[in-house]
């Protein structure tokens, strides 16, 4: 469906494909997307079924190992993850090195590469046991790191993980709980968080996953590869879009809630304004994840009978866009991020934490893709070519003569 002639220029045996719009970088058996039909499947299972019936750890197992676990396999996997949720005490000191108002994404990414320095005897990408323990450590510790990044930003003490709780319950407690005080875990929030993590768990060769594979193709260890992926995810055109959506909705509300004027601005491309949370490189139809999230948004945001006015702005924007030729012609539909920010806000997360939650969800996908890449005998170091557009050969001139 792309205008390939505008994007591709054949030059000798090198093909220019800016943004890799038409270039597959690998074979993969993990995630299937049909962007025109709005289909997403992990290892063959439709996302709708997984979001409704599965849970995040089971989906993580499915992505990483290729099959749904039996009851005993899931129990073993869950208990291995639970045993590794604590951070080394020395790593906790690391959080003090950042300014109090540091964005949690670089804190998360730095802490993940720092994590590798604590396990120097188990980093060999070609040792199956090393890869396995690194997988478990990352899945178990990323929620703890994320919660500590948040605690640091608000000046509260860190809470140790409570391994009687599930991964999501533990994360919510470590994030919002305070020492010596009971924290009531809201089961609706746990269910919504679980679903959101499932929906973000993999999305084939997106920007951050391609980054993880590219860094890993140089045989960098799993921690450093995932750390690079977190940086890629932080960009506003990728994982950063969920916070950008909320800032956009907030801005519209502050300007009096005039949705039509905002849509006009977007269509006129005034100051490069985009309808954040709309459009996708692959989906040229309603993002199936957005359809699932929209239902959850409704449940969570109407929970206590208190309706967030930002939800009405979002619904109006969607309605206008779906009826407007600008968006119809360009096949721009809501993507996964259009509604997630509203749910995260209702859960009590500040905007800065939204992309961190995306990273928690995407982690099993990054791990699965990195493992698939390392195990593939056809993998080569990623090394794109370029079309050189600079000067031809020139003579060096001494500075006095320039
Ligand atoms: N609002 C307004 N116009 C848009 C939008 C948007 N959100 N997205 C694309 N367009 C327009 C472009 O201006 C362009 O118009 P033109 O043909 O008149 O020049 C046309 O649609 C095609 O857009 P591209 O930028 O070429 O599409 P691309 O596939 O490169 O970009 C992207 C996809 C980055 C997601 C883009 O749609 C975007 O910036 N969306 C907003 C940010 C966002 O929500 N990102 C999250 C993506 S999902 C994820 O990472 C989980």
Supply the Cα-derived Rg of the chain in whole angstroms: 22
Residues counted in the chain: 402
Ligand 1 centroid–CA 363 distance in Å is 24
Structure tokens at 261: 């004027």
pLDDT at 179: 84
CA distances from 123 to 67, 120, 224 (A): 25, 6, 10
Atom of ligand 1 nearest to the CA of 206: 50
pLDDT at 12: 65
pLDDT at 70: 98
Ligand 1 centroid–CA 10 distance in Å is 25
pLDDT at 241: 85
User: Is there a contact between 162 and 131 (Cβ–Cβ < 8 Å)?
Assistant: no
CA distances from 147 to 44, 119, 352, 356 (A): 33, 21, 12, 10
Cβ neighbors of 341 (< 8 A, separation 6 or more) are 242, 243, 245, 246, 249, 277, 351, 354
The alpha-helical segments, DSSP class H, found in 27-103 are: 47-53, 56-65, 71-82, 89-94
Ligand 1 centroid–CA 207 distance in Å is 14
pLDDT in tens, the chain (402 residues): 455 555 555 556 788 999 999 999 999 999 999 999 999 999 999 999 999 999 999 999 999 999 999 999 999 999 999 999 999 999 999 999 999 889 999 999 999 999 999 999 999 999 999 999 999 999 999 999 999 999 998 999 999 999 999 999 999 999 999 887 888 889 989 999 999 999 999 999 999 999 999 999 999 999 999 999 999 999 988 888 888 999 999 999 999 999 999 999 999 999 989 999 999 988 988 899 998 998 888 888 877 776 788 988 999 999 999 999 999 999 999 998 898 988 998 899 999 999 999 999 999 999 999 999 999 999 999 999 999 999 999 999 999 999
Atom of ligand 1 nearest to the CA of 203: 51
Mark 17-27 as b/e (b = at least 16 C-beta within 10 Å). eeeeeeeeebe
Q: How far is the C-alpha of 205 from the C-alpha of 194, rounded, in Å?
A: 23
Ligand 1 centroid–CA 188 distance in Å is 33
pLDDT at 297: 86
DSSP 88: P
Cβ neighbors of 287 (< 8 A, separation 6 or more) are 38, 280, 333, 334, 335, 336
Assess whether the C-beta atom of 274 lies below 6 angstroms from ligand 1.
Answer: yes
Model-level pTM?
0.91
User: Is there a contact between 338 and 290 (Cβ–Cβ < 8 Å)?
Assistant: yes
Atom of ligand 1 nearest to the CA of 281: 29
Q: How far is the C-alpha of 266 from the C-alpha of 245, rounded, in Å?
A: 14
Determine the residue of 238, 279, 322 to mutate for testing ligand 1's pocket, defined as the one with the most ligand atoms within 8 A of the Cβ atom.
279
Element (H, E) at 8: strand 8-11
Active site residue 280: yes
CA distances from 348 to 39, 156, 242, 396 (A): 31, 16, 15, 60
Assess whether the C-beta atom of 279 lies below 6 angstroms from ligand 1.
Answer: yes
pLDDT at 260: 95
pLDDT at 8: 53
pLDDT at 296: 87
Assess whether the C-beta atom of 202 lies below 6 angstroms from ligand 1.
Answer: no
Atom of ligand 1 nearest to the CA of 274: 1
């Amino acid at each position: 469906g792309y205008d390939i002639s505008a994007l591709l220029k054949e030059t000798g045996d090198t093909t220019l494909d800016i943004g890799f719009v038409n270039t597959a970088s690998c074979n993969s058996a993990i995630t299937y997307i049909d962007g025109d039909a709005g289909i997403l499947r992990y290892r063959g299972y439709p996302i709708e079924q997984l979001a409704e019936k599965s849970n995040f750890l089971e989906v993580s197992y499915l992505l990483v190992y290729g099959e749904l676990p039996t009851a005993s396999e899931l129990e073993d996997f869950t208990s291995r993850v639970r045993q590794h949720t604590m951070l080394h005490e020395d790593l906790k000191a690391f959080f003090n090195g950042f300014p109090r108002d540091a964005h949690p994404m670089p804190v998360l990414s730095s802490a993940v590469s720092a994590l590798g320095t604590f396990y120097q005897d188990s980093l060999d990408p070609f040792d199956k046991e090393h890869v396995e323990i690194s997988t478990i450590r990352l899945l178990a510790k990323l929620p703890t790191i994320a919660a500590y990044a948040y605690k640091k930003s608000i000046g509260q003490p860190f809470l140790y993980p409570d391994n009687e709780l599930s991964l999501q319950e533990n994360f919510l407690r470590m994030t919002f709980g305070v020492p010596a005080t009971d924290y009531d875990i809201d089961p609706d929030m746990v269910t919504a968080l679980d679903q959101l993590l499932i929906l973000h768990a993999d999305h084939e060769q997106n920007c951050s996953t391609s980054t993880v594979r590219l860094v890993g193709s140089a045989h960098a260890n799993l921690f450093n590869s995932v750390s690079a992926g977190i940086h890629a995810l932080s960009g506003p055109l990728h994982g950063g879009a969920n916070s950008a959506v909320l800032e956009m909705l907030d801005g519209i509300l502050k300007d009096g809630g005039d949705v039509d004027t905002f849509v006009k601005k977007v269509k006129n491309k005034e100051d490069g304004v985009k309808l954040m949370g709309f459009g996708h490189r692959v989906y040229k139809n309603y993002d199936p994840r957005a359809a699932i999230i929209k239902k959850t948004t409704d449940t969570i945001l109407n929970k206590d009978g208190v309706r967030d006015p930002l939800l009405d702005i979002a619904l109006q924007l969607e309605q206008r866009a779906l009826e407007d030729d600008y968006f119809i012609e360009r096949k721009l539909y809501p993507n996964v991020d259009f509604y997630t920010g509203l749910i995260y806000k209702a859960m009590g997360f500040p905007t800065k934490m939204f992309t961190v939650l995306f990273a928690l969800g995407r982690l099993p996908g990054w791990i699965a893709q990195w493992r698939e890449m390392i195990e593939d005998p056809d993998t080569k170091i990623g090394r794109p070519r370029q079309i050189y557009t600079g000067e031809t050969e020139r003579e060096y001139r001494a500075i006095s003569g320039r």
